[in-house]
Structure 1
Amino acid sequence: MASLSLKTLLNPRSGAAATVASLLDALGGSVSVQDMSGARLLGALDGHAGRMPVWFADVQLGWVTGRPEAAGAVCSLLTHLAAREAEKRALAAEVLHLYREVHLIEQLSEQLTALFDIATVGRSALEQARRLIAASDGCVLVRDTDGGQLSEVASFGDGESPLPCLSPLASAILERGVAGIVNDAGAQPSSREFPLLYAPLRSGRRTVGIVALGNAAGTPYTSADLKLLNTIALQTAAAIENAILCVEMVGAARDREQLAALQKELDTARMIQHSLVPRVFPPFPERTDFDLHAQMTSARAVGGDFFDFFLIDDDRLAVVIGDVSGKGVPAALYMAAVRTHIKIAAIKSITPEECLQAVNRVLVREQVSSMFATCFYGILDTRNGELRYCNAGHNPPWVLRAGGAMESLTDAGGIPLGLMERMPYTGGVLPMGAGDALFLYTDGVPEASNAGLDDFSDERLALTLRDGARLDCRGLVDLVTQELVTFTAGAQPSDDITMLMVRRTAENHPR
């Protein structure tokens, strides 16, 4: 950041110069402002008047000449204006830092979403880290499949990776799951030659490994470096977890991180939320070619869950489910905006990916807060059973086949709505035969916790769906609800719990 001086502060185009000039006029007489070289910046110079220094943050910026009482007033104003300018510069620096983090998320997300090899994921993460953080050495260590020993999957440097100084810290990092900096060479019992920066690779509640950087130049790491490495670690951990799941072919969705403590219950938010979702079931009693049911249970502090369904025309059924970040009235109002924009875009008969891309563009341009929304949008052609869909960062739905098979839709979509404008959204196509069903849900289902703080989990949800696969939509939604009540011992959920299920019951809509 450029140093602050009276010359830059009192630039003729700045508001500060006009403010000081107004005070000088009001004081009258010969009062002037000079920089450290004695050059006059404002006012009339009086060679016989006294001179008073202008200080800010223990640094002298210049002088004010004139009568003591007048010079003192001008000095006080200049000090105040300098403080305001320093605050503006600090804020600008913070905004720039945040922009770098957002840009990093965008770049790294684009790279990692297409990678399913752990070593390639690790190399990509280290390459991005080296671009943003000074480092001579670095490594990515990943736990083996049984969660035990660490092994190196990627590194750079002088060939001594994993970093020797990381070894005595590894167990504590994995156990605590907390990032850190070690700049003091004497802070660890092992011999050290350079500062160390490390972060756990956390996916949900599980720590799958560690990413670490070292700087042989000896330049200490900062909290800003730690934030950037943590951002890289979060993205890298998610990609590594996906790669592990693909290799093991277990098909289980990874646990989502626990949500922060929620704010108190807000009746207004609940009213907004429930007034905007369908409440009459069955919604289309005259239709025999599909079955549909949905249910929402609000949390103590109302979240931003929403769902919707509607007929675009006689042969196309639209289904929507989503979750807005945040709680209370702001989340409910944002949810209403998302739902409205989706419906407006949907009636134009565009594809799900085009619809979500259009909604994302509107939300980013209208954004007045830091909120965003995950969303799954699908269109079922009831004539031929073709489901077209797009997933904007939402929990992957389950497909329940009539023959008993299950699959998770994880292949098409993009980032949550409202984060960044120029982001691609891809669509998917799924054939659904008679008896096949689609089960949609929000994160409140797998993250519902019991007294022991254990999550219901994606695995329990999958088992419950498998057990009740032959039930109708209302029956299976009720079964999952009962399993949640049993697991949580009837405790009030800390997050909204929303489910929507649609089943194709006939090959064709009767005319």
Structure 2
Amino acid sequence: MYFVYPSRELRQLDKALTLFADIEWVKLTLVNMCDPNQIYIADVLDFLTHQWPCPTVVIAREHEGAALSEAWQKGALAGWIWEDLPEQPFDKLQQIEAQYKRNQDSRDLPTAAELQQRLLPTPEQFRQYNFQYLFQPSAYLSGDWIDFWQVNDDQILFYLADVSGHGVTSSLLTSWLAGFHKRAHSPEHLILKLNEMLIKENIEKHITMIAGMLDLKQNQLRCINAGHFPPAIYIAPNQDPVVFNSSSFPLGLTEDLKIDEITVEMQSGSQFILCSDGALEPYKGGINEQFQQLLNDLSQKSFNPPIQVNDDIAMLKIIHASN
């Protein structure tokens, strides 16, 4: 923090210099060279005259309410009165600085959300298969993640993951997941490598995931589940939906990870669907009732996510186009 020596004469200046004795003083002419990460304390008229971009606590005379109001409109963090300076200014300044940093983090969230969106794959068609997805964060950033890529001419690797908890830490792990794009060559390799890294780094987060491989030539899909709910769903024309339940553990809990694998013959017109637990949010009842309602809507192609959600929603559909 810095105290900007005022350009006008103020009889309260001596008291201020005593109160701010531990803060470095700077001349007004040097403020334009200021560190934008530091908080400055300055006279309100100097701030309005020079309008520097640094975060600033302004001090006004008791009759300068209009100037104080103008300074707030121009971005001042807080305002004090020269005739009534706080006796313990450092406590106040620490509170102001903490709030400023929180606000800065919040301002960065839209940009971070845009960057996260850019890491998502582009919906794509691989021969007779369409890969489509829904990605709807509950706030700016999501702890859910989807990815798919072509391993070779005939095979597509895909996954849907859900990081435990909410907030920035969970969303940062989705960026970490995105770093595996095209680095894994099988579902087993992807899941075992992620599990190993989570345990080694002791991040105190776990990840549920369904990962699979689609063989375009054989029209066969194999899939493994690492503790993820809702389970994978297979919907084919004129058949009841098939649900692939699993009792496997999430990633990051145990080194001795055992995972269930299933194989699906993809019929013409069928869909293989993965979703995060946020997809259950629009429905009432217990978790089993919610899942049944979701299953019914997916079967009837009538799932409509709400605009505002309390949990992230991610859904990946692998659609075998009808002949």
Provide the TM-score with structure 1 as the length reference: 0.39
The residue type paired with residue 277 of structure 1 is L
> 2:316 matched to which residue of 1?
500
Q: Number of residues paired by the alignment?
A: 216
How far 1:336 sits from its partner (Å)?
A: 1.8
Q: Measure, in 1, the Cα distance between the counterparts of 2:167 and 2:248.
A: 26
SS in 2 for 1:428: strand
How far 1:293 sits from its partner (Å)?
A: 0.9
Q: After the TM superposition, which residues 91-490 of structure 1 pair with which residues of structure 2 at under 5 Å, given as runs?
A: 266-267=109-110, 269-278=112-121, 280-281=122-123, 283-284=124-125, 287-300=126-139, 302-341=141-180, 343-346=182-185, 350=186, 352-367=187-202, 369-395=203-229, 396-411=231-246, 414-448=248-282, 457-468=290-301, 479-481=302-304, 484-485=305-306, 490=307
Contact residue 465 and residue 480 of structure 1 kept, 8 A: yes
> Could you say if the C-alpha distance between residues 353 and 499 of structure 1 is closer, same or farther in structure 2, counting changes exceeding 3 Å?
same
Higher Rg: 1
SS in 2 for 1:378: strand
The residue type paired with residue 319 of structure 1 is F
> Could you say if the C-alpha distance between residues 467 and 371 of structure 1 is closer, same or farther in structure 2, counting changes exceeding 3 Å?
same
Q: Measure, in 2, the Cα distance between the counterparts of 1:325 and 1:267.
A: 22
Contact residue 269 and residue 328 of structure 1 kept, 8 A: no
**Structure 2 runs not aligned, ≥5 long:** 1-105
Q: Measure, in 2, the Cα distance between the counterparts of 1:442 and 1:358.
A: 21
How far 1:433 sits from its partner (Å)?
A: 1.9
Q: Measure, in 1, the Cα distance between the counterparts of 2:228 and 2:192.
A: 15
Q: Measure, in 2, the Cα distance between the counterparts of 1:456 and 1:410.
A: 15
> 2:36 matched to which residue of 1?
none
**Structure 1 runs not aligned, ≥5 long:** 1-263, 469-478
Q: Measure, in 1, the Cα distance between the counterparts of 2:272 and 2:140.
A: 28
Q: Higher relative CO (CA 8 A, sep ≥ 6), structure 1 or 2?
A: 2
The superposition leaves residues 400-442 of structure 1 with CA deviations (integer Å, 9 ceiling, x where unpaired) of 012232111114x731112222222232222222222101110
Q: Measure, in 2, the Cα distance between the counterparts of 1:454 and 1:364.
A: 29
Q: Measure, in 2, the Cα distance between the counterparts of 1:337 and 1:291.
A: 26
The superposition leaves residues 28-82 of structure 1 with CA deviations (integer Å, 9 ceiling, x where unpaired) of xxxxxxxxxxxxxxxxxxxxxxxxxxxxxxxxxxxxxxxxxxxxxxxxxxxxxxx
Q: Measure, in 2, the Cα distance between the counterparts of 1:268 and 1:331.
A: 17
The residue type paired with residue 318 of structure 1 is L
Q: Measure, in 1, the Cα distance between the counterparts of 2:288 and 2:160.
A: 22
SS in 2 for 1:480: coil
Q: Measure, in 1, the Cα distance between the counterparts of 2:282 and 2:225.
A: 22
How far 1:377 sits from its partner (Å)?
A: 0.5
How far 1:331 sits from its partner (Å)?
A: 1.1
How far 1:374 sits from its partner (Å)?
A: 0.8
Q: Measure, in 2, the Cα distance between the counterparts of 1:456 and 1:273.
A: 32
The residue type paired with residue 270 of structure 1 is A
> Could you say if the C-alpha distance between residues 432 and 271 of structure 1 is closer, same or farther in structure 2, counting changes exceeding 3 Å?
same
Q: Measure, in 2, the Cα distance between the counterparts of 1:408 and 1:498.
A: 18
Contact residue 151 and residue 182 of structure 2 kept, 8 A: no
Contact residue 296 and residue 499 of structure 1 kept, 8 A: yes
Contact residue 281 and residue 309 of structure 2 kept, 8 A: no
Contact residue 233 and residue 244 of structure 2 kept, 8 A: yes
> Could you say if the C-alpha distance between residues 290 and 456 of structure 1 is closer, same or farther in structure 2, counting changes exceeding 3 Å?
same
Contact residue 290 and residue 505 of structure 1 kept, 8 A: yes
How far 1:276 sits from its partner (Å)?
A: 1.7
How far 1:342 sits from its partner (Å)?
A: 6.4
How far 1:457 sits from its partner (Å)?
A: 1.5
> Between the two proteins, what is the percent identity of the paired residues?
26
The residue type paired with residue 410 of structure 1 is N
Contact residue 307 and residue 500 of structure 1 kept, 8 A: yes
How far 1:506 sits from its partner (Å)?
A: 6.4
SS in 1 for 2:190: helix
Contact residue 360 and residue 421 of structure 1 kept, 8 A: yes
Q: Which runs of 4+ in 1 moved over 6 A?
A: 452-456
The residue type paired with residue 110 of structure 2 is D
Q: Measure, in 2, the Cα distance between the counterparts of 1:441 and 1:448.
A: 13
The superposition leaves residues 135-181 of structure 1 with CA deviations (integer Å, 9 ceiling, x where unpaired) of xxxxxxxxxxxxxxxxxxxxxxxxxxxxxxxxxxxxxxxxxxxxxxx
How far 1:358 sits from its partner (Å)?
A: 2.4
> Could you say if the C-alpha distance between residues 342 and 408 of structure 1 is closer, same or farther in structure 2, counting changes exceeding 3 Å?
farther
Contact residue 446 and residue 456 of structure 1 kept, 8 A: no
